Structures are given as structure tokens and as C-alpha cells.
A and B are shown apart, each in its own frame.
Chain A
Amino acid sequence: MATALKLQPSEATVYHVRNGSDGANFRISEFSLWYGVKQALFDNSLDIQKGLVTALIGPSGCGKSTLLRCMNRMNDLIDGVRVSGRMTLDGQDIYGRGIDVIALRKRMGMVFQKPNPFPMSVYDNVVYPLRVDGVRDRASLDEACERALKGAALWEEVKDRLRENALGMSGGQQQRLCIARAIAADPEVLLMDEPCSALDPIATSKIEELIDGLKGRYTIIVVTHNMQQAARISDNTAFMYLGRLIEYGDTDSIFTNPHLERTQDYVTGRFG
């Protein structure tokens, strides 16, 4: 236990990644982040494989959500955040000078910890990304709405109630609605920040099925607290600890035969 809490700067990340058929499209190299003077991420480097599901695990406060929120520059909203290192999506530098953050965010959908549907109808929620994009055409909005809701396995439940307020749905439905909203504008990457932490087991299993179904079409990055979940849904898993990436490899090895003792301790529940 005592040794687990201490982290040597010299410890190097161990990589044994399963490669996707299309290779990596999201590359992070030597990425660090500071909240004011407090450093939260330390020189993280990882390549995320296109079309696969990548899980970020680690104990609370290890920086996995921070890393995820850096990917679509959500941390810009927080005062006093400073970053260094590189993040590229298909070769484009996310933190490059003159980058259009809004255009960048349109390439990534994001699902948050707690379902956050907007206080408007189901339909308006789903087509919101298209509306802010300037799409006015009724037919294409209808089409996108249906496609996204089908993609989020929600269409059968809500197709007769598209005009009703989304806040009246159950929590699981709301979260699937948020997923539908995230994929409505056809992004390349789907970022999920503990998408099931506020849901009951049945809703959780539905979301997990959904993630499985979306695999291949989108590059999915999931932050999760739940190690069984990570084991079930992901292809690769990155284990983070105290702001550092400890081990990044294919999920089966991480959970059955991790290369590092520290990872072993965490996935078997000895700390964290």
C-alpha cells in the first residue's frame, strides 16, 4: 500500500496497445496541464486507435476526466488552466495557434457524467448541434433526428413523443438522449465522461450495449470508475494514477495480466 502511493518521476509508462485496423487518429504526446500552479497532468503520451473503444481508468483525482476534457478543449472554460505538449486529431494540432475551437468541437461528441438534456423538446435536443451549425432544412433535421435516436437505441421509445419536454424522461433515457445529441452531427470521436455513473444497472447495461453498437463507427473514449465496465466494453485501457499514465494496453492484458504491479493492485481492488 505504502509503495503504491509513492510515484517515482523515473517510472516510465508501459505500452502494449492493441492496434485497430485504421491505426491511431488521436495522438497525445507529452501532454501536461496545470490548474494555476498545481500540476494535474504529467507528460502523458498515448495514441488512441481509430474505431476502437478506449477506457481511461484510475482512482479519483488521477486526472482521467481532465485529460478527456482537454481533448475537446472543455478546460478552456476554467480560469487559470495552462497546458503543454501536443494533441492532434488526424494530424491537426488541437492546441495549435489559430485553431477554430468551435469547428474542432463539432468533430467530437461529448457525453457527460450526469445527463444534461436542454430544457426543450426531445427533437430540439437532438438536432441542437445541427441548428447551431446553421441547418434550417426541415427534412434533413428530421432525418438526422431519426438517425441519431436510432443510433442511441431510443427511437422506439420516443418516436411518438418527440415534441415533449426532454426533462420529463427517465435518467437512462436522458443519458441516451445525450448520446443521440452527441452523435447527431456525425462526429469522428465520441468522448464519454463516466456516462453511467448516475444511472441504475439496467440503464447502465443499455448504455454499454449502445457503446458496443457504436464501436467501429466512432472512435470512443470512455472515462469510467467501474472496472468491470471498462473490461466489458473497451478494447484498450489506459490506467492513470496521480496525473500520470501508468500503463496503456489492450484491455484483456490490463485486467488479467498487467505488466506493472501498480496496475495489478488497482484492478484487483487493493487500492483506489
Chain B
Amino acid sequence: MPATVEHVAAKPATVMRARVRATDLGARGEPMLWLFGGTLALGIAMIVGFLLLVLWNGLTTFYPKPIALVTLKNGAVLAGEPARTERYRLGAEQLAALADADRRNVAANDGFAARTLYRVGNYDFYNEDFRWVSEFDVAKIEWPSGFFFVERLEWGPLIGKIKSVDLAGETLVGERIDMARLTAAHGTARARWERVREIDHNEIGATNYYLNQERLKLRRVSLRDGEASAAYAAAKAAHDRRTEQLKAEYETLAAEAQAIKAEDAKDRITMLEASGEERTFRLSEFVRFHPANDLTLAGKLAVYLSRWWEFLTGSPREANTEGGVWPAIFGTFAMTLLMVVVVAPFGVVTALYLREYARQGRLVSIVRISVNNLAGVPSIVYGVFGLGFFAYIVGGTIDELFHPERLPNPTFGTGGLLWASLTLAILTVPVVIVATEEALSAVPRSMREGSLACGASKWQTIRRIVLPRAMPGIMTGLILAMARGAGEVAPLMLVGVVKLAPELPIDRFFPYLHLERSFMHLGFHIFDVGFQSRNSEAGKPMVFVTTLLLIALIALMNASAIVIRNRLKRNFVGSQF
């Protein structure tokens, strides 16, 4: 049929070419490639930017900054760490109050002026921690030596010069202040303070604990046998005897603490703030002090590391804006671990039944869909459920059955570590179930058949072949669950996380691990420091540091789980034989 061929060939060449090019572009998928690549780049930029922001702010917070001595045009003086600088628009009244030259400057800048936020500290002097200073108010800025940045137990930081030091009756002034001697004396003062704290918290705490135990023991007897019984009389006698003894112990301890405090009061230091006001403190009130503008690099690093050490191992002070977060680190870690311990067997066993034993029908499909949907329920709903079911119903019943002597004070009948872990376990169990099911279904059929053909029962096949083979996938599910659980805050606020927990959930009293206690959590700590504290400006750096720490903690837990998973995986790939 040559005619047709000629006809096609006779078509205008330009039309053909245009058509070819149009399909070519679509076929190559170039625009899609740019879209996908661009979206990926945007996502990576956001993640990297976020990490860099947290990393930079978190890592620099504890680095000592220099102290500026600012003299204002009206003669006032202030000393502080410059925190940040910004431009702001002046109001009409402020403009009117300005000198002519300044007003012209502001007008030239479209009505804007620069101002700097100084951390002046000395809350007990000024009733503020931070002060804005407009650039046009400043007469001069110096960076003088001799100014100290002092972290205190109370009232936040102090910035000032040392006027005089009283060491056990001897007074040193001005040139005669020997820094080495002062540092040594400060060390002893801090050791004394630690000792007082030890007595207050641990030893008197223990005495109080035993006193309370005695009281509860007596109450248990009275609830069981009534107050008229012989058993009660015997218990009462024992209780009185023991109480006497404990009270005597308490008196001794209190006297010892009193003596140390009296000794402590002899070491005093008088500080002079920038404008000359002076105040005297006990040396032990100072946690750490350094001459900010006279530090060498090594000195700065020492301060930096010492602050990190306190942050990681200490307890919080000053409404959580200072001191350490050790209780929160411990709480986060313990809760996550406990959650994994609960969620792993539950999730895996459920998935095993759904995938291996249950007859695959409509019921199983419905269950599977429900489980998937559970993963999407807002976490606060789980918090409400945890509070209502675990704390009030389960915990309340436990209290009635096992701790009637403590009522009406709840033991398990309120939020605590155990209930928080269980709530999070429910929250994360769908993730584990879904991941485990997928891992189980990915085990090749040939493996199961091989095992069954060897005469293994179904359970033997699951235990020896299917589960080991699915373990890496199950671990992936647990890692995801852990990451989700450790980062969750909202439900925890209802079921046991508190702003400041008086005790860790672990101590030296039987049963050592107190799952009923409320605890602290890094996620909640971030919220509390950033948004609930007296001084949000002072809390801001702490938010970054705590965020960094939370991310690091989760990364650490995930990394260890990934290491375990990869070790398991190694068995399933062909190695060099």
C-alpha cells in the first residue's frame, strides 16, 4: 500500500517536529524532576535550619559573655551582658522628649532607632533582670575589668564588683583580696552548703519517711482491728517508742545543720553593683562567679564546662530557669524505657495473633483498620483516658485495696510514672502493631514452609524462624514508637508530669523504684521554662538548651536501638562464606 506511506510522508515537517518535542518534554519528566527535587531541598533546608538553630543557641548559651559598663547621657550607669540588639519605631512622645540631634538621626532612619537588651541581673536591686537601652541614650560603653558575673541560689544572677570579703572574722578589702584564697573559701562554703542540703534532704528526709511509715503502720492496725483492740494497744506502744527515737534523731540532725549554718554565716562577701549600691551575702549563696572581662580562653572554657556539668547533673532552681535538669532527664529516660518495656510485648503479641493465627476475614480487617486509626487520635485524648482510667479507676482501686491507711491522700490514685508510661504505651502501640505486622508478612513464605516441612509446629516455626527474621522490622517499629513517646508532652501533663518533682522516682527506700511518683520530663520542662516562668527572657536560652538535650536524648536512644537492629540484620544478609 505505497499510497498511504506517501501520504504520511507528505505531512508538513514542522508540525511533526513540534509534536515530537512536546511529548519529549513530558516523557523526560523534567518539570516533575524539578518539583520533586525542589520539594526535597526545601524539606532538607527546614530540617537542617532547625537543627542548626537549636544547636547554635543551645551550645552557646553557657559560654560566658563579657560585661559592658554603659554610661547613659542622663548620668545613670548600668552593667550587664548585651543579649541582643534590634530596631524599633519610636512613639510620638518619645520623639518629643529627644534632643534635636537625636531626633534628626531618628528621622533620617524613617523613625526607627536601635536599642540593645542588657542582662543586668541584680533582681533584688532593680526588680528586673533585663533592661532595654536605646542607642541615642548611651554616652559611652566600656568593658572594664573587675566586674564579676555571679550565679546565685536566689534572685538570679548578680553583676558587680567585690567590695570586701569576711573570712572567719578577717576582713579583706580592695587590693588585699586574694582570688586564690577567695576561691578556696568559696569551695569550702559550697561544701558546707552541700552538707546542709544533704542533712535536710536525705537524712532528715529519711527520718520523716520512717516517722510517716510508723504513723501508717499504726493506722493500718487501727483500720484492721479497731482502736479498742489489744493489737492496737501493742502497735501504739511500739509506735510511740519508735517515734520518740526518731524525733531524737531528728533533733540531733537539726542541731548539726544549725551548727553548720552558724559556721557558714561567718564567711560573707559584700558586692557593689554598677551604680554603687552595696549588699552583703553569705559566700555559700554564690553557686559560681567569674570576672567576666578578665577571663582567659581556658577560664571561659572552664566556666562553660562547669555550667554544662551543673545543667546535666544538678536539680533545678529559680523556678526551673537555672540549675540543672537531671530529674527531667531521668524522668524522660525512665518513662520512655518503661513504655518500651510495656509496649513491645503487647504490640508484638497482638500483631502475631492478627497476622499468624487469626483467620483473615472481615473481623480482622476491622480490627486492623481500628488499630491504624488509633494512631491518629490526638494525644491529649489519651491523656484524658489515662487520667480517668489508669489513675482514677485502676489507681483508685489499688489504693483502696492496698493502701487504705494513706487515704484520702492518693498513692496510685493520681498521676505518676507508671500511669504516664502506660498511657504512652497505649498511644504508641498502634505503631508497633503495624510495623510488626508488616515485618511478619515480609518473612518469605519459603522460610515458613521449610520449617513446617521439617516437622516444626506452628509455634516452633514462629519462635525459631519467623520472629528472628522479623526482629529488625519489629525494632524499627519500636524505634518509631520510642521517638513518638519520648517527644510527647500533652498527655503527660495530665498523668504525672509536674513542674518540679520533690523526689526522683528511684531512691534508697523499699521498693526503691517508686512508680507511683510524679516526675519531671524534658518536654514539659521546655514548655514550663519558656512560657510559665517569671522571666521569659531568662528562660529563652534554657529553652534552647533543653530542646537540644531532648533531641540528643531521643537521638541517643534511637541510635542504640538502630545499632541493635543492625546487629540483628547482619544475620540475614549473605556474608562472605
Q: How many residues of B contact A (CB 8 A)?
A: 26
Q: Closest A residue to B469 by CB, please name it.
A: A119
B576, A132: Cβ atoms closer than 8 Å: no
Task: Give the chain A neighbours of B446 by CB distance below 8 A.
Answer: 112, 114, 116
Given known A161-B577, A168-B577, contact A118–B451 (CB-CB < 8 A): yes
Select A116's contact among B447, B460, B577, beta carbons within 8 Å: B447
Q: Closest A residue to B465 by CB, please name it.
A: A118
A128, B451: Cβ atoms closer than 8 Å: yes
Q: Closest B residue to A79 by CB, please name it.
A: B360
**How far in angstroms is the closest Cβ of chain B from A121?**
9
Given known A129-B455, A132-B456, A165-B577, contact A74–B572 (CB-CB < 8 A): no
A77, B449: Cβ atoms closer than 8 Å: yes
Task: Give the chain B neighbours of A128 by CB distance below 8 A.
Answer: 451, 454, 456, 464
A72, B453: Cβ atoms closer than 8 Å: yes
Given known A118-B465, A119-B468, contact A132–B460 (CB-CB < 8 A): yes
Most buried by B among A77, A128, A164: A128
Interface residues of A in 158-211 (CB under 8 A from B): 161, 164-165, 167-170, 178, 181-182, 185, 191
Given known A164-B575, A167-B572, A167-B573, contact A112–B450 (CB-CB < 8 A): yes
Total of A-B residue pairs, C-beta within 8 Å:
86
Q: Closest B residue to A158 by CB, please name it.
A: B577
A211 and B430 alpha carbons, distance in the complex (Å): 50
B454, A167: Cβ atoms closer than 8 Å: no
**How far in angstroms is the closest Cβ of chain A from B452?**
7
A109 and B456 alpha carbons, distance in the complex (Å): 12
A102, B450: Cβ atoms closer than 8 Å: no
B449, A118: Cβ atoms closer than 8 Å: no
B contact patch SS: helix
- Is A133 at the interface (CB under 8 A from chain B)? yes
Given known A112-B446, A118-B451, A133-B455, contact A165–B469 (CB-CB < 8 A): no
A72 and B452 alpha carbons, distance in the complex (Å): 10
Given known A119-B469, A132-B464, contact A74–B575 (CB-CB < 8 A): no
A-B contact pairs, 25 of them (CB 8 A): A74-B449, A79-B360, A102-B456, A105-B454, A116-B444, A116-B446, A116-B449, A117-B450, A118-B464, A120-B571, A128-B456, A129-B455, A129-B456, A132-B454, A132-B455, A132-B464, A165-B571, A165-B574, A165-B577, A167-B575, A168-B574, A168-B576, A168-B577, A181-B450, A182-B454
Residues of B bordering A, CB below 8 Å: 360, 444, 446-457, 460, 464-465, 468-469, 571-577
Residues of A bordering B, CB below 8 Å: 72, 74, 77, 79, 102-103, 105-106, 108-110, 112, 114, 116-120, 128-129, 131-133, 161, 164-165, 167-170, 178, 181-182, 185, 191
